[in-house]
Every structure is written in C-alpha cells, then in structure tokens.
C-alpha cells in the first residue's frame, strides 16, 4: 500500500481551488480609503471583503459552508485552501478567514 496523505490532498485542494476560480475568479478588487478591499462581481454584489491592515478576508458563511459540504471537508482544511487561493489569485496574504 502506498502513502496517500500528501498527493491526493494536494490534488484535492487543487480541485477546490478550481471551483473557487469558477465561483469567484472574476471578481474586481475595489480598494477604499478605510484600508478595505471589496471584491465586486459583474452584478455589482460584494461577495468578499479584505482588510489590508488585519489581513482578514470576510466571506459569506453560506459560501464557505456550501464548499465544505460539496467537497466533504472540515473548516480548518477549507480555510487553509481559501487563504492559499486568495494569495495565489489576488496576491493578498490572508491571516484569518471570517464568515458573515
């Protein structure tokens, strides 16, 4: 039997990132004077907010819970993937993921 701990996890996280790209990959970053960045979609809605000062990304809880249920992953794993995805996709370091 082989060790399945690292490669499938990496592959699985890539699949989740692909889904995040489909769902949130075309957002426009709109900075404001209060050191916040708002992510706006084509319909003018703001599904994510980022605090530059605190390095916190704020995401609707329904989004995070939906992805966790869809992929059958726990909150800690989801948050780590989401942090990596935001950094890779938008070049923003994330210290903490907050749900609203």
Q: What is the pTM of this model?
A: 0.82
Q: What is the pLDDT of residues 19-74, one digit of tens each?
A: 999 988 889 999 987 799 999 999 999 999 999 999 999 999 998 999 999 999 99
The DSSP 8-state label assigned to residue 35 in this structure reads S
Query: What's the confidence (pLDDT) of residue 86?
Result: 95
Partnered with residue 57 across adjacent β-strands are 50, 97
């Amino acid at each position: 039997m082989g060790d399945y701990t690292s490669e499938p996890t990496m592959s699985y996280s890539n699949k989740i990132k692909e889904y995040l790209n489909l769902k949130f990959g075309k957002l426009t970053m709109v900075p404001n004077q209060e050191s916040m960045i708002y992510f706006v979609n084509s319909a003018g809605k703001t599904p994510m907010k980022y605090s530059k000062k605190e390095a916190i990304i704020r995401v609707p809880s329904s989004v995070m819970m939906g992805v966790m249920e869809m992929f059958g992953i726990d909150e800690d794993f989801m948050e780590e993937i989401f942090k990596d995805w935001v950094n890779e996709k938008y070049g923003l370091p994330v210290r903490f993921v907050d749900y609203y």
